[in-house]
Amino acid sequence: MTSTVVVGGFFGDEGKGKIISYLAVKDNPTVVVRGGAGPNAGHTIKDGDKVYKVRMLPSGFLNKNAKVMIGPGVVINPDVFLKEITDFDASGRAFLDKHCGIIEQSHLNQDSKGELKEKIGSTGSGTGPANASRAMRTLKLAKDIDSLSSYIDDVPQVVNSAIEKNENVLVEGTQGTFLSLWHGTYPFVTSKDVTASGICADIGLGPKNVDEVIVVFKSYVTRVGTGPLSNELNSADTTEKGWAEFGTVTGRPRRAAEFDFELAKRAIMLNSATQIAITKLDVRFTECAGKTNYDELSSEAKSFIKNIEDKLKVPVTLIGTGPAINDIIDRRK
Ligand code: IMP
Ligand code: MG
């Protein structure tokens, strides 16, 4: 039985939602718990014909036996939280901590204009201004909001007692390593640390209780909003490669570049990765679409994976080959 932390290795949008929803169904954790910034995150999950776009709840909600929880470090938009519980049929199993911060209208207003919007390209979700208010000790917390009272639980307690009982716990990060306020391309970053240690602090999980850290890389790099992106492709080349994507939360076009080994190496170090997940292999190698067995991959695709393992010295255990949760090669154990 294992505690597994899943984080993004580049600039967010690596496909964490798909990896986490697969693990939530496959490993049957009793608790799926989210750390990270707030509703600036957007995870897309495809289950059969259904496509879910999640901003607040953990992407693991597809497993109906798991408690889906949000740790105290995260800031909440109560409207988004309550709507997702209804939309995703998570009533009775979705909880947040009494110390989750609350995004108010004033935070949304501050985030939708001025420097944050124009220079940093923020998502406009109020996440950064709410975290600023928390640092000023003026932010309301979940325990102050009546409409949230029936959803409150002691998230660190639930997480740690599940681990003590030897149950599987899945910890979900948001954004990506180079959007971290500490380790990213400041000032073009989000409003918190989003590396594995930061995500664990958000949910009250101490470093000795983490078994596996999975860093998720997409087969190419994308970045939404402003900030540096080495070897950025122009939009014609991005489209030609089939790498043109649009943001889940903002709908903005994502900028794209080749897989970046320098960034990836640093992400492995900063997160103390024990495993790598590679997503969208089918976008690079269309012949690999929907494959579930490593042996069925083309030799080009295999050398792409092998090169990543050789250069980063961490095993690639999960490989995404399509948008649906079961379009995956699972090489663990
Ligand atoms: P903020 O977190 O909304 O303030 O946005 C700061 C920067 O991080 C902007 O460049 C956003 O586009 C980016 N960002 C924030 N959250 C995400 C995410 O979940 N995926 C990708 N980019 C994000
Ligand atoms: Mg996203």
Please choose from 7, 14, 40, 133 the residue to mutate so as to test ligand 1's pocket, defined by most ligand atoms within 8 A of CB.
Answer: 40
pLDDT tens profile 118-150: 999 999 999 999 999 999 999 999 999 999 999
The rounded Å distance from CA 33 to ligand 1 centre is: 20
Q: What is the pLDDT of residue 251?
A: 87
Reported confidence tier of residue 333, pLDDT bands at 50, 70, 90: confident
Is 43 a residue of the active site? yes
Q: What's the mean pLDDT when you consider all of the chain?
A: 96
What is the mean pLDDT of the segment spanning 271-296?
A: 98
Look up the CATH number of the domain holding residue 78: 3.40.440.10
Is 131 exposed, middle or buried (CB count within 10 Å of its CB: 0-12, 13-18, 19+)? Answer: buried
Q: Is the pLDDT of residue 1 over 90?
A: no
Ligand nearest to the CA of 179: 1
What secondary structure does DSSP assign to 147-205, as a single string? GGGGGEE-HHHHHHHHHHTT--EEEE--S-GGG-TTTSSTTSS-SS--SHHHHHHHHT-
What is the mean pLDDT of the segment spanning 64-93?
A: 97
In sequence order, the β-bridge partners of residue 318 are 277, 330
Range of the domain at 100: 3-330
pLDDT tens profile 194-208: 999 999 999 999 999
CA atoms within 13 A on the CB side of 232: 11
Q: What whole-number distance in Å separates Cα of residue 252 and Cα of residue 124?
A: 12
What is the mean pLDDT of the segment spanning 264-286?
A: 98
pLDDT tens profile 144-189: 999 999 999 999 999 999 999 999 999 999 999 999 999 999 999 9
Query: Quick one: how far is CA 93 from the chain centroid?
Result: 20
Ligand nearest to the CA of 128: 1
Per the structure, how many domains does the chain have?
A: 1
The rounded Å distance from CA 54 to ligand 1 centre is: 15
